[in-house]
Amino acid sequence: MVLPSGLWRIALVLGFPAGYTDAGFESFQTPGAKAWMLTLSVLCELAAFLTIGLVRPWGEFVPRWIPLIGGRKVRPLTAVVPAALGAAALTALWALVPWWWTFAHHDMTPTGNLVVGILYQPLFLWGPLLAAVTVSYHRRHRGTAARRPQVP
């Protein structure tokens, strides 16, 4: 869901107008704008990657290389609460993306407006799909805290 828009932002960082007019592209040429777009792309990809932990075994145990807590079982609510909050935030954040083409984008070319709109459409599904995976994780792991042996 996140990769198409991330690749588009990286194209901007690398100096490709990627659908912007010359005047619209100027604001993306500052070091701060480039750093922000690169940081946003990397953070989005990392956040999306964390979702895999809700469906794979490596998401059930803290990786051994993490000091002090490595190798311990992940408590279900420790994964469910942030994932549910993230799903709600992403759903709200990207709710208007399907209506991309109804908003004026004066700083973009007509083709750029079309392509960027298409590249951002998958983000609309990110929140709901994360919510579905979170519910599935919760259902698979509910009650495991009660079955966990107590350490004296």
Task: Summarize pLDDT for 77-106 with one digit per residue, the tens.
Answer: 999 999 999 999 999 999 999 999 999 999
Considering only CA atoms, which of 78, 71, 72 is closest in space to residue 50?
Answer: 78
Residue type for 103, please?
Answer: F
Burial of 60 (0-12, 13-18, 19+ CB in 10 A): middle
pLDDT digits (tens, 9 = 90+) for 124-143: 999 999 999 999 999 998 86
Give the pLDDT score at 108.
Answer: 95
* pLDDT over 70 at 148, yes or no: no
Distance CA 57, CA 95 (A): 31
Q: In one letter, which amino acid is 55?
A: V
Helices (H), the chain: 3-13, 22-26, 31-50, 76-93, 110-120, 123-141, 144-147
Given a cut of 90, whether residue 146 has pLDDT beyond it is no
User: From the CA atom positions of the chain, what is the Rg in Å?
Assistant: 20
* Res 142: pLDDT: 83
Mean pLDDT, rounded, of the chain: 90
Half-sphere exposure of 41 (CA within 13 A, CB side): 18
Spans of all domains in the chain? 3-143
**Residue 149, pLDDT above cutoff 70:** no
The model's pTM is 0.84
Q: What is the pLDDT of residues 4-59, one digit of tens each?
A: 999 999 999 999 999 999 998 998 899 999 999 999 999 999 999 999 989 988 78
Cβ(122)–Cβ(40) under 8 Å?
no
Task: Work out the number of other CB atoms within 10 angstroms of the CB of residue 39.
Answer: 11
Question: Among 78, 38, 34, 73, which residue's Cα sits nearest to residue 57?
Answer: 73
Instruction: Output the CA angle 41-133-96, nearest 5 degrees.
Output: 55
Residue 62, pLDDT > 90, answer no
